[in-house]
Structure 1
Amino acid sequence: MRLVHAKRIGRRPTGPSLCSGAAARWTSRGARRVCLAKSTASTSASPPSSIESPRSYAIDLKSLDGKWRRRWKEAEQQEQEQKQNQTQDADATPSRSSQGQHQHDAAPRHPAKKTKTNYVLSMFPYPSGSLHLGHLRVYTIADVVARYNRLKGDDVLLPMGWDAFGLPAENAALERGIAPAVWTRTNIARMKEQIDCMNGSWDWSREVTTCEPDFYKHTQKLFLMLYERGLAYQDEAEVNYDPVDKTVLANEQVDANGCSWRSGAKVEKRKLKQWFVRTSEYREALLADLDELAKENAWPERVISQQRNWLGKSTGAKIKFPVMAMGGVDIGAAIDVFTTRPDTLFGVQYIALAATHPAVSRLAQADVKLQAFLDTLPGLPPDAKVGYLLPQVRAINPLAYHDDTPDATKASLPIYVAPYVLGDYGEGAVMGVPGHDVRDHSFWNTHHPEQPVRTVLAASEDGSTTVMANEGPFVSHGVMTHHSGAFRGKPSLEAGQIMVRMLEAADLAKPVEKWRLRDWLISRQRYWGTPIPIVHCDSCGAVPVPDEELPVQLPNVDKHWAESRTGNALESSPDFVNTPCPKCKGPARRDTDTMDTFVDSSWYYARYVDAHNARQPFSAEAARQMLPVDTYIGGIEHAILHLLYARFMYKFLASTSLMQGLRDEGRASSAEPFKRLITQGMVHGKTYINPDNGSFLRPDEVDLSDASNPKVVATGAPAKVAYEKMSKSKHNGVDPTQFIAKYGADATRAHMLFQAPVGEVLNWDESKISGVTRWLQRLHDQVVAIVSAAAAAAAAAAADERGSPPKDAKHFFESKYPNLDSMDGATRAQWDADAALWRQTQHTIASVTRSYDQVYSLNTVVSDLMSLSNVLASSAADVALKRHTASTIAQLLAPITPAFAEECWSVLHPSRGSIFRSAPFPAQDGTLGSPMLERRHQSCAVQINGKMKGVVEIPPPPAELQGHDLNDWMVAAILDTKLGKERFREGPYDLKRAKRAIPVRGGRVMNFVF
């Protein structure tokens, strides 16, 4: 390490000082051996009561990053050289440590012992060209989890790759006139350098890039496997078309306002022939297995809830509403409606059809006004309450045919076309119940503001039966009201079931099950994606590309980019399109669609386990050993799309020969790709806002000469400060690589974790990192001072091994304190200091281990270690114990600050090598709560009417004592001491005469009131 002389501050050290005149020697590991000056203090066998760590040296945290990354790289290269002659069959199972994993921290400590495999993975990034703090946070968390599990002895896989296909690259290529591949690979190279600055332990030998043919060859193979099973199919369907990006979007990629998730353009509805994946085939398994993922909070409840809602299983009834049509209007004999609330059937006041309902399409051919209304819908939000009343048609409530049905329910119903009705859910029609549905209530009030809303159930039988236009609907289950005829007074759930059975007998209803989930539309009319490996032949139809011809590679279309053409470049590439039919060898055309990028990310995690397998996506043996992922880390924004598709794909893969074991064991349908899911919070940046107009201020528009009182440069007015999602428009972005260059990777990592719990939003504040850097520097100073004192003690009293870390508590305390019951005052004080430091160290090990295991409370790891280092700084414990505690802090901190921990370890143990190879993660030794380390005595200040009258040494009171029992015990203990016998047994301070006795701070103070 490079030590820089700094100005001394603080008090003069009382312990041995570092030798300033002797030259420092360096071992092969580069650790500085501390030279000690001869002094009279060093001749004493007893160490100093405390060790000061004056700021005589200041560690350069930034310099540690490069130093230790070089060391780790050298160790990795040495491992690779040892294994360069090994050969493997393409299908042989790759071991985690044989594929170039960072050997400095991956090598097992006990090679003969079978280790547990542990797969840690963060969601791979899109190579935009620059990292943001969100990347830094998720990758830091992943690396910390991986390093922690390695230190525990697990065989850990922590790979990294690139989600490299997609529209942004194609759009960037059009803007710059270069091929997407060139832009993407340049960005990958730049981002890889940035990621390497984070002091991570990623296994780059397993790197995958989805836009490379050696990856998308296997994506095409998986598509063909789905096709062979009938799970990939082509169908003509109305799709969401983005007119700006000129591509089709999945439903999930259209926001609540009907706009594209990427371009923001208003989405159009078009009918095109598209490729789908039959995700609906696995819907029951996808829903049922959420219960397993919810156990022990393996997945966040919020994600589980979003997936349940997206799957959208509904149990209800399909009910026929007969139709009356006049003037030759062709609408059909009846309208089928799906409802989950048949108990509200008496309250139906209108019928509403989706714009895409077949009856609407037929009527629009003859109704010019209806067609004009339909033409206006693409420009409206999907929840708009506009509607078109169909003329000359009315619907009849099927309950109207029963004599005891109230007259209001027998009345005919208007039929509307309304955009708030979803065409792809249920039957594309709803029964409007304004009294018991929020959307229906809003629609009815818009079109019939003067007409009353009919309620047919209430919280109780005597509850309100009429809802006025300005009141909300009653949406819960309850009791049927008098508007429900013979059903009045019945529980609504029971009444609904009876109604369905009654109408089913008349062929007007039947129980049905509906799902919101639709099959996955994967076609994209763009170039930069995985080509769909299908050839279309006029004679043979759709023909799969043979395995031996995979991958179907993207053609070079440089002219397309150079001329900034729009549309799908594949369609204008005749050399790509025109090809012989694989079946009949006649002329045919390749499919020019590419796959949705979510297809790539639905299986990439499985490719990592066998990244160099040229013949298969991965081998069955590699999958058996390494899948599923143990800990998966990423943002909550992927709760539905990516995570749902990955779950589907894994269940499919588990049913194939690629996962022979799961299939043979009958566990294919219940297979899940990610055992545990960690969703980290977003990182928000400090934003400065102009109070006059609410605009976001650029850095040069803010006066930060007084950081606590920022002002608008132009006006001098105080600027508003808020933390918001980082974006260019808000001028609040932070370049993590610049931050790392300024403060060092380890300080940045520790600051990132310390500022907020993993699952919560992190408000990034650069000014607060100074606390972390100062702590790390103080901790390093402590280590140097402790090693100095330990060496001095060892030189003075080598015979009793003073200064060497203790083997264990039992050995240390029994050898140093053989007669616990006959210790003098000084020895008792030393025992108390030793035991207190050992106890605090054990408590910290327990707390830090829990935090690492839970992941979501990693912020408390840093705070707990800060607390322990403060205890260490003020402790008067034996120097050997202090060295033990310092070593423990380095080990506990190693997953978070790996280079800094290595540096401290090299000072504490210069001959033991890397902390990641020589130091197992600390474990509790079982001494907490044992009699061996129980406090023998504690000081108790005796007060009379609030005034100090003396201090006695008493045993700690039993923890179970409370109230009068504690008071009696304390009085007896005080009176049993020498001072108690002399001053408090008789006379004015006779404690037995006190009116009250008040113990404070667990018996450390006892106030007697006379």
Structure 2
Amino acid sequence: LCSYGTGAIMAVPAHDSRDHEFALKYELPIIKVVSPPNGNCDPEEAYADDGIMINSSSSSSGLNINGMLSQDAALEVTSWVESNGFGKKKVNYKLRDWLFARQRYWGEPFPVIYLDDTNEMVPLTENQLPLTLPELDDFTPTGTGEPPLTKAADWVRTTDVLTGKPARRETSTMPQWAGSCWYYLRFMDPKNSSTLVDKAKESYWGPVDIYVGGAEHSVLHLLYARFWHKVLYDIGVVSTKEPFKCLINQGLILGEVEYTAYRDNEGKWVSADSDSSLSDCIQEKVPADKITKVGDNYVLKDDPNIRLNARAYKMSKSRGNVINPDDVVSEYGADSLRLYEMFMGPLRDSKTWSTGGIEGVHRFLGRTWRLVVGAPLPDGSYKDGTMVTDVEPTFEQLRVLHKCMARVSEEIQETRFNTAISAMMEFVNAAYKWDTQPKSVIDSFVLLLSPFAPHLAEELWFRLGHAQSLAHEQFPEAKNEYLKESEIVLPVQINGKTRGTILVDKECSEDDVFQIAASDDRLSKYLDGKAIRKRIYVPGRILNVILDQQKART
């Protein structure tokens, strides 16, 4: 295999499934050199995991690694090879050569020149940097294979400042990676005209805590950014070996689901699960209002026997499934668009767009507005003031608020924005059942909402009587005293059969629990007039009352 390593062919039929299959077919000897730690090895299968070395000694060389762990044995063999002068330890990387030159106009120009007489490549001096691209009216391909920069003849021809010899510039440009791989460093010190980044500022701001990038850059950008950063580390520009503490690649937002039906040559519908070949059929898109869902399948409303293919595709102009954000903002507002994109699903997953789905979060924002401001007046305006009153919140109201705080904070940390929004929806549902909306509670909730719907939250904040923007406020933190569940739902059994549940305090005694059960309308009918033989109470779990069926309770 000339493209990998030394090119030598290695065969280990006892420990590689492909080599094992080959050896069996051609009746080649199979000698096991690694045994599982427990000694149980299937002779019919290749063992490919780590284990204990066997059949691995050589009297002529004096090397014996029998009984050693395979990882330790590898190090021992490497050391033996080096000490005997047969070779040296080397780490092989599968990183291939990077094609760094591009035959196009845009991109960073290479700061080098080529001397005419020797064709020697000479780097520009520091006072000649930065080298900028020349202005071109025509930067289309030349048609000859030469880069477009060859058209800038006055720019290409130059002189070596050190020797005065005529020279020409490099006309290829660097790829976009040359700039995009390290721009995060420039953000730390954007106006520095003498160095790439000030060492003190880089040490303070770096490395980047969280880097969010598209799924299409999850491999190459990470690979090249780390490569670039490590070069800068080696030459002392940056203080860390890694550029990012955490990399998150968000999933794609796919277009709306497309429903495809099939017709045969006679124009008759063919079900997508038909045994006949669908490649010979004519595809036809079906509007969503003409389909219905039966079980896990989508079928025609007019003929439920015809199953359709339902699939969401990547947004593209060629498919005509691109959603213009400006149109969504015009109809629903920027906050609704922002909130819906976070509510669609986990950040890292690809998600399917549904214009109908945005209406749900739009209604949630409307309910939040009315919770604070109230319903609109007949003329469409809102009365001065809010529905919020400056009263002391109850313990239960604080418990609902702080549970919401804790959950939203946790979900933000874990980038589960969709479930954070669900928690806020639950809060609004609970708040609508309150007789009053305490201002301190609603203030905190609006701060929770602000990262998700900043425009609405800012407006509500001012309507709540605050003169300064909420951007200057501390994000609310939950207090443990309100997160503890003081009440639990306790099942009650009568003679071993569950007859209902009661709400009790965690610290309730057995007598208190029994009294609560006996006064419950649903349970008292089973206890009245009955003698109690035994009570079995497991705190926090269950109350079981054993009745004496033959004796009346006195």
Which residue matches 1:922?
476
Task: Specify which structure has the bigger relative contact order, considering alpha-carbon pairs within 8 angstroms and separated by 6 or more residues.
Answer: 1
Q: Which amino acid is the alignment partner of residue 403 of structure 2?
A: H
Correspondent of 1:704 among 285, 288, 292: 288
Match of 1:630, SS state, is coil
Correspondent of 1:516 among 73, 90, 94: 94
Aligned counterparts of 2:54 and 2:99: Cα–Cα separation in 1: 45
Please tell me whether residue 672 in structure 1 is matched to residue 220 in structure 2. no
Alignment of 1:795-810 (within 5 A): 804-805=389-390
Which residue matches 1:339?
none
Which residue matches 2:183?
604
Aligned counterparts of 1:615 and 1:740: Cα–Cα separation in 2: 43
- Structure 1 residues 896 and 640: alpha-carbon distance in aligned structure 2, compared to 1, 3 A threshold: same
Which residue matches 1:299?
none
TM-superposed deviation, 1:697:
10
Identify unmatched segments of 5+ residues in structure 2.
Answer: 262-271, 377-381, 549-554
Which residue matches 1:327?
none
TM-superposed deviation, 1:543:
2.0
Q: In the comparison of the two structures, how many residue pairs are matched?
A: 510
Please tell me whether residue 993 in structure 1 is matched to residue 548 in structure 2. no
TM-superposed deviation, 1:556:
4.1
Correspondent of 1:859 among 395, 399, 418: 418
Aligned counterparts of 1:648 and 1:784: Cα–Cα separation in 2: 54
Q: Which amino acid is the alignment partner of residue 887 of structure 1?
A: D
Match of 2:15, SS state, is coil
Which residue matches 2:252?
682
TM-superposed deviation, 1:869:
0.7
Match of 2:209, SS state, is strand
Please tell me whether residue 476 in structure 1 is matched to residue 49 in structure 2. yes
* Cα RMSD for the two superposed structures: 4.8
- Structure 1 residues 1006 and 750: alpha-carbon distance in aligned structure 2, compared to 1, 3 A threshold: farther
TM-superposed deviation, 1:920:
3.0
Aligned counterparts of 1:790 and 1:741: Cα–Cα separation in 2: 27
Please tell me whether residue 869 in structure 1 is matched to residue 431 in structure 2. no
Please tell me whether residue 577 in structure 1 is matched to residue 156 in structure 2. yes
Q: Which amino acid is the alignment partner of residue 970 of structure 1?
A: V
Identify unmatched segments of 5+ residues in structure 1.
Answer: 1-352, 355-421, 660-667, 794-802, 807-811, 814-833
Aligned counterparts of 2:140 and 2:50: Cα–Cα separation in 1: 60
Q: Which amino acid is the alignment partner of residue 397 of structure 2?
A: L
Please tell me whether residue 529 in structure 1 is matched to residue 107 in structure 2. yes
- Structure 1 residues 1009 and 916: alpha-carbon distance in aligned structure 2, compared to 1, 3 A threshold: farther
Correspondent of 2:450 among 863, 873, 894: 894
Match of 1:708, SS state, is strand
Q: Which amino acid is the alignment partner of residue 742 of structure 1?
A: E
Q: Which amino acid is the alignment partner of residue 922 of structure 1?
A: P
Alignment of 1:820-839 (within 5 A): 834-839=394-399
TM-superposed deviation, 1:914:
3.0
Aligned counterparts of 1:675 and 1:501: Cα–Cα separation in 2: 35
Correspondent of 2:506 among 944, 948, 958: 958
Query: Deviation string for 1:950-993 (max 9, x for gaps)?
Result: x99x9x4335x7xxxx6444125668xxx69xx98xx9736762
TM-superposed deviation, 1:544:
1.8
Alignment of 1:422-571 (within 5 A): 422=3, 425-438=4-17, 450-452=26-28, 454-457=30-33, 459=35, 463=41, 473-478=46-51, 490=67, 493=70, 508=86, 511-517=89-95, 520-537=98-115, 538=117, 541-559=120-138, 561=140, 566-571=145-150
Match of 1:594, SS state, is coil
Aligned counterparts of 2:6 and 2:158: Cα–Cα separation in 1: 42
Aligned counterparts of 1:927 and 1:463: Cα–Cα separation in 2: 57
Match of 1:456, SS state, is coil
Query: Deviation string for 1:885-905 (max 9, x for gaps)?
Result: 333322111101111212332
Please tell me whether residue 739 in structure 1 is matched to residue 282 in structure 2. no
Which residue matches 1:971?
514
TM-superposed deviation, 1:705:
2.5
Match of 1:454, SS state, is coil
Aligned counterparts of 1:757 and 1:708: Cα–Cα separation in 2: 27
Q: Which amino acid is the alignment partner of residue 866 of structure 1?
A: M
Which residue matches 1:693?
278
TM-superposed deviation, 1:532:
0.6
Correspondent of 1:593 among 161, 172, 175: 172
Alignment of 1:144-223 (within 5 A): none
TM-superposed deviation, 1:550:
2.5
Aligned counterparts of 2:309 and 2:481: Cα–Cα separation in 1: 54
Query: Deviation string for 1:797-850 (max 9, x for gaps)?
Result: xxxxxx6435xxxxx47xxxxxxxxxxxxxxxxxxxx22112111111121112
TM-score normalized by structure 2? 0.74
TM-superposed deviation, 1:684:
3.3
TM-score normalized by structure 1? 0.43
- Structure 1 residues 862 and 503: alpha-carbon distance in aligned structure 2, compared to 1, 3 A threshold: closer
Aligned counterparts of 2:25 and 2:250: Cα–Cα separation in 1: 47
Aligned counterparts of 1:571 and 1:492: Cα–Cα separation in 2: 61
Aligned counterparts of 2:341 and 2:178: Cα–Cα separation in 1: 32
Judge conservation of contact 1:689–1:697 (CA < 8 Å) in 2: no
- Structure 1 residues 926 and 561: alpha-carbon distance in aligned structure 2, compared to 1, 3 A threshold: same
TM-superposed deviation, 1:861:
1.2
TM-superposed deviation, 1:475:
2.5
Aligned counterparts of 1:706 and 1:592: Cα–Cα separation in 2: 58
TM-superposed deviation, 1:867:
0.6
Q: Which amino acid is the alignment partner of residue 638 of structure 1?
A: H
Judge conservation of contact 2:292–2:300 (CA < 8 Å) in 1: no
Judge conservation of contact 1:999–1:1007 (CA < 8 Å) in 2: no
Which residue matches 1:912?
467
Match of 1:836, SS state, is helix
Match of 2:246, SS state, is strand
Q: Which amino acid is the alignment partner of residue 329 of structure 2?
A: I
Judge conservation of contact 1:780–1:904 (CA < 8 Å) in 2: yes
Judge conservation of contact 2:35–2:52 (CA < 8 Å) in 1: yes
TM-superposed deviation, 1:757:
1.8
Judge conservation of contact 1:701–1:712 (CA < 8 Å) in 2: no
Aligned counterparts of 1:890 and 1:780: Cα–Cα separation in 2: 10
Judge conservation of contact 2:532–2:545 (CA < 8 Å) in 1: no
Judge conservation of contact 2:258–2:310 (CA < 8 Å) in 1: yes
Q: Which amino acid is the alignment partner of residue 475 of structure 1?
A: A
TM-superposed deviation, 1:567:
4.2
Please tell me whether residue 748 in structure 1 is matched to residue 337 in structure 2. yes
